[in-house]
Amino acid sequence: MVEPYTMQTIALVDDDRNILTSVSIALEAEGYKVETYTDGASALDGLLARPPQLAIFDIKMPRMDGMELLRRLRQKSDIPVIFLTSKDEEIDELFGLKMGADDFITKPFSQRLLVERVKAILRRSANREAAAAANSGGAAKTAADVQARSLERGQLSMDQERHTCTWKNEPVTLTVTEFLILHSLAQRPGVVKSRDSLMDAAYDEQVYVDDRTIDSHIKRLRKKFKMVDNDFDMIETLYGVGYRFRESA
């Protein structure tokens, strides 16, 4: 039987009506259904009553800001969330990622960049759901299966299937993009990965990102690990070349 309705829905929450209009037009042109909200309080009711495939939140809004909206949403839902943030909101950005935001886009932003980030997150979300469905088919997992989906590098442990990461047995909450970048680095400790290589690991070919985007993700990765272990220094910068995950002593 053919699914009668397959259009993906994106919720857009922002008190700036110009952004609501322009972003809605860009997303609808790509075939998405867009539901808009002008404040967090009304958005929360709508998100829980009619869960979209992805949500885009502005941080600063009346009645309930984006951070509080995300906190309440995460109590009942794990739908992917992209934050729209200003350049001077780095602390809020780190806090939001720790709470479970999937990505941040800094204002002003290009519509093309936002659309491609949306596409990338939706594709990865669909892939994870498909993998989870396949893995729940009832077949017993062999040790090789489990090992293939897990990565252990000294004090670092990453589980691709569960999308979990720990450092010294302490959980580190990563977005999808951060997880993919770190996984790429940690797969081959000591090997330098260029920014282009990390872009390929974290983004689809159609997504446009610049070098500063990778640098920002690396910066957030370091901060997240330092929140768990202030002495964390496993991600090294080779200026003009790229990054590498240090080999354990």
Q: Domain limits of the chain? A: 9-128, 147-245
Residue 239 pLDDT greater than 50, yes or no = yes
Could you give the count of Cα atoms lying within 13 Å of 128 in the half-sphere of its Cβ?
17
Q: Which amino acid is at 156?
A: L
* Contact by Cβ (8 Å): 185, 243: yes
Is residue 47's pLDDT more than 90?
A: yes
* Angle of helix 111-135 versus helix 17-29 axis, rounded to 10: 60
The model's pLDDT over 60-71, given as tens digits with 9 standing for 90+, comes to: 887 888 889 998
CATH topology of domain 147-245: Arc Repressor Mutant, subunit A (1.10.10)
Task: Decide which of 1.10.10.60, 3.40.50.2300, 3.40.50.300, 2.130.10.10 is the CATH code for 9-128.
Answer: 3.40.50.2300
Can you give the pTM of this predicted structure?
0.60
Q: How many Cβ atoms sit within 10 Å of the Cβ of residue 228?
A: 15
* Closest by CA position to 160, among listed 169, 170, 150: 150
Percent of all residues in the chain with a pLDDT value above 90, rounded to a whole number? 43
Out of 56-70, 158-172, 197-211, 218-232, which region has the weakest mean confidence (pLDDT)? 197-211
For residues 84 and 56, the answer to whether their CB atoms sit within 8 Å is yes
